Amino acid sequence: MARRFLVGFTAVTAAALAVAGCSSSSPKSASSPSPSISSPGSSPTSDSSAGPASPSGSDLVSFGASSPGSSAPVTAGGHLVIGAADFSESEVLANLYALLAKKAGYTTEIKTVTTREIYEPALQDGQIDIVPDYAATFTEYLNDKKNGANATVVATTDKDTTLVQLNKLASPLGLKALEPSNAADENAFAVTTTYAKAHNLTTLSDLGKSGLSIKLAAPAECKSRPFCGGALTTNYGIKISQYDPFDFDSVPAKQAVKTGKDDVVEVATDDGALSDYNLVILQDDKHVQLADNLVPIVGKKYANDATLAAAINALAPILTSADLGMLDNDVDANKELPSAVAKTYLTSKDLL
């Protein structure tokens, strides 16, 4: 799934999300204080079934991590801490990076991360070494952080142009964006087919013109972000009576709309499981959302590591949007482990 509004995280086990073959195995608000990292095996601070909660401890949580005194050999490549948000797409991408890095001689561990406000400072101070993100969204996150919430948008729908702008903003922070992949998706908003037919809706403009007041299932920060709540209210004139906080494009969020608890859910355009919940995307007919190419963001410690860059960049020309939807579906619908899905995919593309 997509990723722009990462919030909260659920309890995950090392067994479920351990990195295959590793050392032990979704943009617009002010920056938060630098986080601490919990020790391996510590539990997350919120449960998605109850919606996001205020952090009550660490905002970075280990899973699949090396334990002190591990017998795994230390390689010349060094040890990488890979960030993964708690939704399937990010978890699969983190596992793809881990396997490619291992092949290049690195040991790895994966840590669950929450919002960009948490993991971007962690990339700067060395708590996280690499994290999957989305080119246009991360560009605008850094742009707004530097130039203010009303900064002129510098991201475009062209991934190479956006990459230049992204690295102009990232470089002074010691960060580096690697090659964006061909895979891209966008934020989207879905309703049930029944709701769409009852109100004659096919586009977001239709929803705005209908005058309906909606309950929106979306991450907690959606309300303040211009590509989420801002897009609906400002660009489309949609009335939102209630924000119901859920992890981005999560099963509970989609279930809330399917059952009628909420009216609209924020999803990803590459979500292949929407039909399972009787959901249909309302078209972004004003083209507010930018096509976001997946991009690895490397932290200060490894920003100039050419070996790591070459290893991770091998994925960029191979991964397509169709592939991404398939990988997401393997985890969400087929209940496969992200580590297994990642390994199968890389093997099928002769990257392992």
Q: Is the pLDDT of residue 221 over 90?
A: no
pLDDT recorded at residue 143 = 95
pLDDT recorded at residue 42 = 32
pLDDT recorded at residue 270 = 83
pLDDT recorded at residue 75 = 42
Q: Residue 242: exposed, middle, or buried by beta-carbon count in 10 A (0-12, 13-18, 19+)?
A: exposed
Both structure tokens of 234: 């400002």
Mean pLDDT of 79-105: 95
pLDDT recorded at residue 146 = 96
pLDDT recorded at residue 352 = 95
Mean pLDDT of 299-308: 96
Mean pLDDT of 133-143: 93
Mean pLDDT of 318-343: 93
Cα–Cα distance, 267 to 273 (Å, whole number): 10
Q: Is the pLDDT of residue 45 over 50?
A: no
Q: Could you give the angle at which helices 338-348 and 88-103 cross, rounded to 10 degrees?
A: 50
- pLDDT band with cut points at 50, 70 and 90 for residue 114: confident
List, in order of start, the domains of the chain with CATH numbers: 14-184+291-348 (3.40.190.10), 187-282 (3.40.190.120)
pLDDT recorded at residue 127 = 96
Q: Is the pLDDT of residue 338 over 70?
A: yes
Per residue in 252-277, pLDDT (tens digit) is 999 999 999 999 999 988 888 899 99
Q: Is the pLDDT of residue 12 over 70?
A: no
184 compared with 282, residue with greater pLDDT? 282
Q: Is the pLDDT of residue 278 over 90?
A: yes
